């Protein structure tokens, strides 16, 4: 007859039954902790490395932005200088060209010019004014607005200036004043607009200039 194991302790299900089993379980758990800790350290290192690269990238982006801004400023400055140089040189060229032919052209229209003056500037009651060319024959005065490219707004602005000429240029208040626009190129039908307002219209072509008003044109006296 078998003897009952009445005095042996009953182990809970799934629990280690000896010290060796507990020790092995502890070692495996410790190994897992060490591996997990190693992974955390590697991940943390990667985060720091990513952060460092991100900061370097931001720094490089800022530096690139600074360089591009400086280059854009320099390029914009050069474009403006070239544009100003082009405008000034061509403006001077056409004024010289028009003034050279102006006497002959106006004489052909029975306006006997005695003298011409360039760039009359001044200030009247706080308002600045400038007239490109003024041709005088004693009784009659022709004021010329010179543009490389003539546009509608230029004609409108000159029309306002010509009405103020006797105020701005008081020495001619008793003269008959005519207006004239001269250009290399006209846009927006500005040449036709100028003629309708009573201005002489001069177009520069090659090395000469010519009045292109219609044959029956009668200039308006201002």
Domain of residue 205, CATH code: 3.40.1350.10
Asked if 172 and 156 touch (Cβ cutoff 8 Å), the reply is no
- For position 12, what pLDDT does the model report? 53
- For position 118, what pLDDT does the model report? 84
Outline where 109-207 has alpha helix (H): 152-163, 165-168, 190-196
Q: How far, in Å, CA of 141 to CA of 132, rounded?
A: 13
Question: How many folded domains does the chain comprise?
Answer: 1
Does 139 fall in a domain? yes
Alpha-carbon separation of residue 11 from 2, 19, 23 (angstroms): 21, 13, 17
As a residue count, the chain comes to 222
pTM for this one? 0.60
Does 5 fall in a domain? no
Residue-wise pLDDT for 3-51, tens only, equals 555 555 555 555 545 777 777 777 787 777 778 777 777 877 777 777 7
For the chain, the first-to-last Cα distance in angstroms comes to 147
Give phi and psi for 147, each to the nearest 5. Answer: -135, 140
Please give the residue range of the domain that contains residue 142: 99-211
> What parts of the chain have a pLDDT lower than 70?
1-17, 72, 74-97, 99, 206-207
**β 127-136/200-205 pair status:** unpaired
Closest CA to 178 of 202, 205, 154: 202
Does 62 fall in a domain? no
- For position 79, what pLDDT does the model report? 66
- For position 42, what pLDDT does the model report? 80
Q: How far, in Å, CA of 35 to CA of 29, rounded?
A: 10
Does 83 fall in a domain? no
- For position 179, what pLDDT does the model report? 96
- For position 187, what pLDDT does the model report? 94
Closest CA to 179 of 139, 146, 214: 146
| Cα angle for residues 23, 24, 30 (degrees, 5° grid) | 90
- For position 56, what pLDDT does the model report? 80
Does 188 fall in a domain? yes
Does 221 fall in a domain? no
- For position 153, what pLDDT does the model report? 96
Longest distance between any two alpha carbons in the chain, whole Å: 157
Does 12 fall in a domain? no
């Amino acid at each position: 007859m078998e003897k009952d194991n009445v005095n042996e302790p009953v182990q809970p299900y799934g629990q280690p039954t000896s010290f060796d089993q507990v020790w092995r379980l502890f070692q495996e758990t410790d190994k897992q902790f060490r591996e997990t800790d190693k992974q955390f350290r590697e991940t943390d290192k990667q985060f720091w490395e990513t952060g460092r690269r991100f900061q370097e990238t931001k720094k490089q982006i800022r530096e690139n932005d600074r360089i591009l801004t400086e280059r854009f400023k320099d390029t914009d400055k050069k474009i403006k200088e070239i544009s100003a140089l082009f405008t000034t040189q061509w403006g001077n060229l056409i004024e010289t060209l028009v003034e050279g032919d102006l006497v002959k052209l106006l004489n052909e229209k029975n306006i006997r010019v005695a003298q011409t003056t360039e760039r009359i500037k001044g200030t009247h009651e706080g308002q600045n004014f400038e007239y490109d060319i003024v041709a005088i024959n004693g009784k009659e005065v022709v004021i010329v607005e010179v543009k490389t490219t003539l546009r509608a707004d230029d004609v409108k602005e000159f029309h306002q200036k010509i009405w103020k000429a006797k105020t701005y240029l008081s020495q001619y208040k008793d003269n008959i004043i005519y207006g004239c626009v001269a250009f290399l190129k006209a846009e927006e039908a500005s040449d036709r607009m100028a003629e309708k307002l009573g201005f002489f219209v001069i177009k520069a072509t090659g090395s000469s200039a010519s009045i292109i008003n219609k044959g029956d044109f009668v200039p308006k006296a201002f």
